[in-house]
Amino acid sequence: MFESFLLPVLRVSTPLILAALGGMWCERSGIVQIGLEGFILVGSFFGAVATLSTMNPFTGFLAAGLAGMVLSVLYGLVVLRYRSNQIVAGTAINLFAMGIPPFFSKIWYDSTGSTPPIPTAAQFQVAPLWITFAIVVLSFIIYHYSRFGLRLRFSGEHPEALQSAGVSVRLKRWQGILMSGFLAGLAGGTLSTYLSSSFIRNMSAGRGFIALAAVILGKWKPIPTVLACLLFGATEIAQIRLQGVVLWGTDPVPVQWIQILPYFITIVVLAGAVGRSNSPKALGNS
Protein backbone atom coordinates (compact mmCIF):
# COMPACT_ATOMS: atom_id res chain seq x y z
CA MET A 1 0.00 0.00 0.00
CA PHE A 2 2.73 2.45 0.98
CA GLU A 3 5.07 1.56 -1.88
CA SER A 4 2.34 1.30 -4.45
CA PHE A 5 -0.01 4.12 -3.53
CA LEU A 6 0.97 6.49 -0.70
CA LEU A 7 4.54 7.06 -1.80
CA PRO A 8 3.59 7.81 -5.42
CA VAL A 9 0.90 10.21 -4.18
CA LEU A 10 3.46 12.03 -2.05
CA ARG A 11 5.88 12.11 -4.96
CA VAL A 12 3.53 13.63 -7.50
CA SER A 13 2.18 16.02 -4.87
CA THR A 14 5.54 17.55 -3.92
CA PRO A 15 5.75 20.04 -6.80
CA LEU A 16 2.10 20.95 -6.28
CA ILE A 17 2.55 21.48 -2.55
CA LEU A 18 5.62 23.69 -2.95
CA ALA A 19 4.07 25.81 -5.67
CA ALA A 20 0.73 26.06 -3.89
CA LEU A 21 2.34 27.23 -0.65
CA GLY A 22 4.20 29.86 -2.65
CA GLY A 23 0.97 30.95 -4.29
CA MET A 24 -0.75 31.02 -0.92
CA TRP A 25 1.84 33.34 0.62
CA CYS A 26 1.74 35.68 -2.32
CA GLU A 27 -2.02 35.88 -2.48
CA ARG A 28 -2.25 36.29 1.29
CA SER A 29 -0.14 39.42 0.94
CA GLY A 30 -2.72 40.78 -1.48
CA ILE A 31 -1.15 40.05 -4.85
CA VAL A 32 -2.78 37.73 -7.38
CA GLN A 33 -0.28 35.12 -8.45
CA ILE A 34 -0.98 33.34 -11.71
CA GLY A 35 2.70 33.35 -12.68
CA LEU A 36 3.42 30.14 -10.74
CA GLU A 37 3.60 28.14 -13.95
CA GLY A 38 6.38 30.37 -15.22
CA PHE A 39 8.37 30.17 -11.98
CA ILE A 40 8.07 26.38 -12.03
CA LEU A 41 9.34 26.21 -15.59
CA VAL A 42 12.32 28.45 -14.98
CA GLY A 43 13.08 26.66 -11.71
CA SER A 44 13.07 23.25 -13.34
CA PHE A 45 15.38 24.42 -16.11
CA PHE A 46 17.98 26.09 -13.91
CA GLY A 47 17.68 23.28 -11.38
CA ALA A 48 18.71 20.82 -14.06
CA VAL A 49 21.47 23.10 -15.35
CA ALA A 50 22.97 23.63 -11.89
CA THR A 51 22.74 19.94 -11.08
CA LEU A 52 24.51 19.07 -14.31
CA SER A 53 27.30 21.55 -13.76
CA THR A 54 27.94 20.80 -10.09
CA MET A 55 26.82 17.16 -10.03
CA ASN A 56 25.08 17.91 -6.76
CA PRO A 57 21.28 17.89 -6.68
CA PHE A 58 21.15 20.09 -3.58
CA THR A 59 22.87 23.00 -5.31
CA GLY A 60 20.57 22.35 -8.24
CA PHE A 61 17.56 22.49 -5.97
CA LEU A 62 18.71 25.76 -4.43
CA ALA A 63 19.44 27.20 -7.86
CA ALA A 64 15.92 26.25 -8.93
CA GLY A 65 14.46 28.24 -6.07
CA LEU A 66 16.71 31.22 -6.75
CA ALA A 67 15.86 31.18 -10.45
CA GLY A 68 12.17 31.31 -9.63
CA MET A 69 12.89 34.12 -7.20
CA VAL A 70 14.77 36.16 -9.79
CA LEU A 71 11.82 35.92 -12.14
CA SER A 72 9.49 36.89 -9.33
CA VAL A 73 11.52 40.09 -8.86
CA LEU A 74 10.47 41.03 -12.37
CA TYR A 75 6.88 40.30 -11.49
CA GLY A 76 7.21 42.37 -8.32
CA LEU A 77 8.63 45.32 -10.22
CA VAL A 78 5.81 45.23 -12.71
CA VAL A 79 2.94 44.90 -10.28
CA LEU A 80 4.27 46.77 -7.24
CA ARG A 81 6.42 49.47 -8.67
CA TYR A 82 4.59 50.08 -11.92
CA ARG A 83 1.16 48.99 -10.71
CA SER A 84 0.32 46.92 -13.70
CA ASN A 85 -2.74 44.69 -13.82
CA GLN A 86 -1.76 41.54 -11.93
CA ILE A 87 -3.54 39.05 -14.15
CA VAL A 88 -1.99 40.50 -17.29
CA ALA A 89 1.45 40.68 -15.69
CA GLY A 90 1.16 37.08 -14.47
CA THR A 91 0.21 35.88 -17.93
CA ALA A 92 3.11 37.82 -19.37
CA ILE A 93 5.46 36.15 -16.88
CA ASN A 94 4.20 32.72 -17.97
CA LEU A 95 4.75 33.51 -21.63
CA PHE A 96 8.14 35.05 -20.96
CA ALA A 97 9.20 32.02 -18.93
CA MET A 98 8.41 29.70 -21.82
CA GLY A 99 11.08 31.42 -23.88
CA ILE A 100 13.87 31.37 -21.30
CA PRO A 101 14.89 27.67 -21.32
CA PRO A 102 15.12 27.34 -25.14
CA PHE A 103 17.23 30.50 -25.28
CA PHE A 104 19.82 29.29 -22.79
CA SER A 105 19.75 25.63 -23.78
CA LYS A 106 20.60 26.68 -27.33
CA ILE A 107 23.64 28.55 -26.04
CA TRP A 108 24.80 25.95 -23.53
CA TYR A 109 23.77 22.62 -25.03
CA ASP A 110 22.91 23.42 -28.67
CA SER A 111 19.47 22.08 -27.99
CA THR A 112 16.14 23.74 -28.52
CA GLY A 113 14.76 23.51 -25.05
CA SER A 114 15.95 20.47 -23.17
CA THR A 115 19.01 19.56 -21.13
CA PRO A 116 21.16 16.44 -21.35
CA PRO A 117 20.13 13.69 -18.90
CA ILE A 118 21.33 14.00 -15.33
CA PRO A 119 23.46 10.99 -14.34
CA THR A 120 21.95 8.67 -11.77
CA ALA A 121 24.62 9.56 -9.21
CA ALA A 122 23.53 13.20 -9.24
CA GLN A 123 19.82 12.51 -8.87
CA PHE A 124 17.74 12.91 -5.75
CA GLN A 125 16.51 9.84 -3.94
CA VAL A 126 14.06 11.01 -1.28
CA ALA A 127 15.44 14.35 -0.03
CA PRO A 128 12.81 16.60 -1.68
CA LEU A 129 10.07 14.80 0.22
CA TRP A 130 11.67 15.72 3.53
CA ILE A 131 12.45 19.25 2.43
CA THR A 132 8.85 19.70 1.37
CA PHE A 133 7.64 18.30 4.66
CA ALA A 134 9.86 20.77 6.53
CA ILE A 135 8.56 23.64 4.42
CA VAL A 136 4.98 22.64 5.14
CA VAL A 137 5.60 22.59 8.89
CA LEU A 138 7.46 25.88 8.71
CA SER A 139 4.71 27.50 6.67
CA PHE A 140 2.12 26.35 9.18
CA ILE A 141 4.04 27.79 12.11
CA ILE A 142 4.81 31.08 10.39
CA TYR A 143 1.27 31.45 9.16
CA HIS A 144 -0.41 30.93 12.49
CA TYR A 145 2.10 31.80 15.15
CA SER A 146 4.48 34.48 13.96
CA ARG A 147 4.29 38.23 13.77
CA PHE A 148 5.63 38.09 10.22
CA GLY A 149 2.82 35.78 9.14
CA LEU A 150 0.18 37.88 10.79
CA ARG A 151 1.42 41.08 9.17
CA LEU A 152 1.69 39.47 5.77
CA ARG A 153 -1.88 38.25 6.05
CA PHE A 154 -3.00 41.69 7.11
CA SER A 155 -1.51 43.30 4.05
CA GLY A 156 -3.93 41.20 2.03
CA GLU A 157 -6.94 41.67 4.31
CA HIS A 158 -6.73 45.22 5.47
CA PRO A 159 -3.66 47.04 4.16
CA GLU A 160 -4.78 50.41 5.56
CA ALA A 161 -4.75 49.03 9.09
CA LEU A 162 -1.30 47.65 8.59
CA GLN A 163 -0.10 50.92 7.15
CA SER A 164 -1.47 52.90 10.07
CA ALA A 165 0.35 50.56 12.42
CA GLY A 166 3.56 51.72 10.78
CA VAL A 167 4.32 48.59 8.76
CA SER A 168 5.11 48.87 5.07
CA VAL A 169 2.47 47.06 3.02
CA ARG A 170 4.68 47.21 0.00
CA LEU A 171 7.47 45.40 1.87
CA LYS A 172 5.10 42.62 2.94
CA ARG A 173 3.90 42.22 -0.62
CA TRP A 174 7.44 42.08 -1.91
CA GLN A 175 8.11 39.34 0.62
CA GLY A 176 5.02 37.46 -0.50
CA ILE A 177 6.03 37.64 -4.15
CA LEU A 178 9.60 36.55 -3.47
CA MET A 179 8.41 33.62 -1.39
CA SER A 180 6.12 32.51 -4.17
CA GLY A 181 8.97 32.76 -6.67
CA PHE A 182 11.33 30.76 -4.48
CA LEU A 183 8.86 28.04 -3.56
CA ALA A 184 7.50 27.64 -7.10
CA GLY A 185 11.10 27.52 -8.32
CA LEU A 186 11.76 24.69 -5.87
CA ALA A 187 8.65 22.97 -7.22
CA GLY A 188 10.25 23.16 -10.65
CA GLY A 189 13.46 21.74 -9.20
CA THR A 190 11.62 18.64 -8.03
CA LEU A 191 10.32 18.07 -11.56
CA SER A 192 13.67 18.00 -13.29
CA THR A 193 15.97 16.60 -10.60
CA TYR A 194 13.70 14.34 -8.58
CA LEU A 195 10.67 13.21 -10.58
CA SER A 196 12.63 12.85 -13.80
CA SER A 197 16.21 13.23 -14.89
CA SER A 198 16.43 16.14 -17.28
CA PHE A 199 14.64 19.29 -18.28
CA ILE A 200 12.12 18.89 -21.10
CA ARG A 201 10.51 21.81 -22.83
CA ASN A 202 7.31 22.98 -21.11
CA MET A 203 7.60 20.22 -18.55
CA SER A 204 5.60 22.18 -15.98
CA ALA A 205 2.56 20.87 -17.90
CA GLY A 206 -0.03 23.02 -16.13
CA ARG A 207 1.06 22.20 -12.59
CA GLY A 208 1.18 25.89 -11.69
CA PHE A 209 -2.49 26.24 -12.41
CA ILE A 210 -3.39 23.08 -10.53
CA ALA A 211 -1.43 24.50 -7.59
CA LEU A 212 -3.45 27.70 -7.86
CA ALA A 213 -6.66 25.68 -7.80
CA ALA A 214 -5.35 23.97 -4.67
CA VAL A 215 -4.81 27.36 -3.03
CA ILE A 216 -8.42 28.32 -3.69
CA LEU A 217 -9.64 24.91 -2.64
CA GLY A 218 -7.58 25.21 0.54
CA LYS A 219 -9.11 28.61 1.29
CA TRP A 220 -5.66 30.24 1.32
CA LYS A 221 -4.69 28.32 4.48
CA PRO A 222 -1.56 26.15 4.67
CA ILE A 223 -2.87 22.79 5.87
CA PRO A 224 -6.05 22.73 3.76
CA THR A 225 -3.97 23.82 0.77
CA VAL A 226 -1.56 20.95 1.31
CA LEU A 227 -4.50 18.57 1.67
CA ALA A 228 -5.95 19.88 -1.58
CA CYS A 229 -2.60 19.19 -3.29
CA LEU A 230 -2.61 15.67 -1.89
CA LEU A 231 -6.13 15.22 -3.23
CA PHE A 232 -4.95 16.22 -6.69
CA GLY A 233 -1.94 13.94 -6.34
CA ALA A 234 -4.19 11.08 -5.28
CA THR A 235 -6.51 11.53 -8.25
CA GLU A 236 -3.49 11.59 -10.51
CA ILE A 237 -2.28 8.26 -9.17
CA ALA A 238 -5.79 6.81 -9.11
CA GLN A 239 -6.10 7.89 -12.70
CA ILE A 240 -2.95 5.92 -13.56
CA ARG A 241 -4.26 2.90 -11.68
CA LEU A 242 -7.75 2.89 -13.12
CA GLN A 243 -6.66 2.90 -16.75
CA GLY A 244 -7.62 -0.31 -18.47
CA VAL A 245 -9.37 -1.67 -15.39
CA VAL A 246 -12.71 -3.34 -15.95
CA LEU A 247 -15.07 -1.72 -13.45
CA TRP A 248 -18.28 -3.10 -14.91
CA GLY A 249 -19.32 -5.11 -17.93
CA THR A 250 -16.64 -6.52 -20.17
CA ASP A 251 -14.89 -3.44 -21.55
CA PRO A 252 -12.55 -1.27 -19.50
CA VAL A 253 -13.58 2.31 -18.86
CA PRO A 254 -12.39 4.47 -21.78
CA VAL A 255 -9.17 6.22 -20.94
CA GLN A 256 -10.65 9.68 -21.60
CA TRP A 257 -13.17 9.17 -18.84
CA ILE A 258 -10.45 8.24 -16.40
CA GLN A 259 -8.34 11.19 -17.39
CA ILE A 260 -10.97 13.81 -16.70
CA LEU A 261 -11.04 12.64 -13.09
CA PRO A 262 -8.71 15.31 -11.63
CA TYR A 263 -10.54 18.12 -13.41
CA PHE A 264 -13.92 16.68 -12.58
CA ILE A 265 -13.04 16.45 -8.92
CA THR A 266 -11.75 20.02 -8.94
CA ILE A 267 -15.03 21.31 -10.31
CA VAL A 268 -17.15 19.26 -7.94
CA VAL A 269 -15.11 20.23 -4.92
CA LEU A 270 -14.88 23.90 -5.83
CA ALA A 271 -18.52 24.09 -6.79
CA GLY A 272 -19.88 23.13 -3.47
CA ALA A 273 -18.25 20.47 -1.40
CA VAL A 274 -15.98 22.88 0.48
CA GLY A 275 -18.48 25.64 0.97
CA ARG A 276 -17.52 29.24 0.45
CA SER A 277 -13.91 29.91 -0.33
CA ASN A 278 -13.19 33.45 0.75
CA SER A 279 -10.25 35.14 -0.84
CA PRO A 280 -8.16 37.69 1.03
CA LYS A 281 -10.23 40.89 1.02
CA ALA A 282 -7.69 43.20 -0.55
CA LEU A 283 -6.51 40.64 -3.12
CA GLY A 284 -5.75 42.26 -6.41
CA ASN A 285 -6.13 45.91 -5.44
CA SER A 286 -2.79 47.50 -5.14
Partner 1 sequence: MVKIKDMNIFKYTSLLLLSFYLSSSSLNLAHAEIKVGLVLEKSGKDDKSFNASAYKGLKKAEKELGVTTKTVEAPDNSAYESLQRAFAEKKFDLIVAIGFHQLEAVQKNADRFPDQKFLLVDEDAKKPNVRSVLFEEHEGSYLVGALAALHSPSGKIGFIGGMDVPLIRRFQMGYEAGVKKINPKAEIFVNYLGVTGEAWNNPPKAKEQALDQYHRGADVIFVAAGNSGLGVFDAAEAQKKLAIGVDSNQNWLKPGYVLTSMLKHVDESVFDSIKLLKEGKFTTGLTRLGLKSKGVDYAMDENNAKLVTASDQKKLAEIKTDIIAGKIKVPDYYLSQKKK
Least Å distance, CB 5 to partner 1, is: 9
Least Å distance, CB 190 to partner 1, is: 9
**Is 256 or 278 the residue whose CB approaches partner 1 more closely?**
256
Least Å distance, CB 11 to partner 1, is: 7
CB crowding 182-214: b at 16 or more within 10 Å, else e: bbbbbbbbbbbbbbbbbbbeebbeebbbbbbbb
Q: How many CB atoms lie within 10 A of CB 271?
A: 8
Cα 62 to Cα 286: distance, rounded to the nearest angstrom = 31
Least Å distance, CB 113 to partner 1, is: 6
Binding site for partner 1 (CB under 8 A): 3-4, 8, 11-12, 15, 98, 111-114, 117, 120, 191, 195-198, 200-203, 205-206, 236-237, 240-241, 243-244, 255-256, 259
Least Å distance, CB 214 to partner 1, is: 17
**Is 4 or 278 the residue whose CB approaches partner 1 more closely?**
4
Least Å distance, CB 259 to partner 1, is: 6
**Is 164 or 256 the residue whose CB approaches partner 1 more closely?**
256
**Is 17 or 162 the residue whose CB approaches partner 1 more closely?**
17
**Is 163 or 196 the residue whose CB approaches partner 1 more closely?**
196
**Is 27 or 236 the residue whose CB approaches partner 1 more closely?**
236
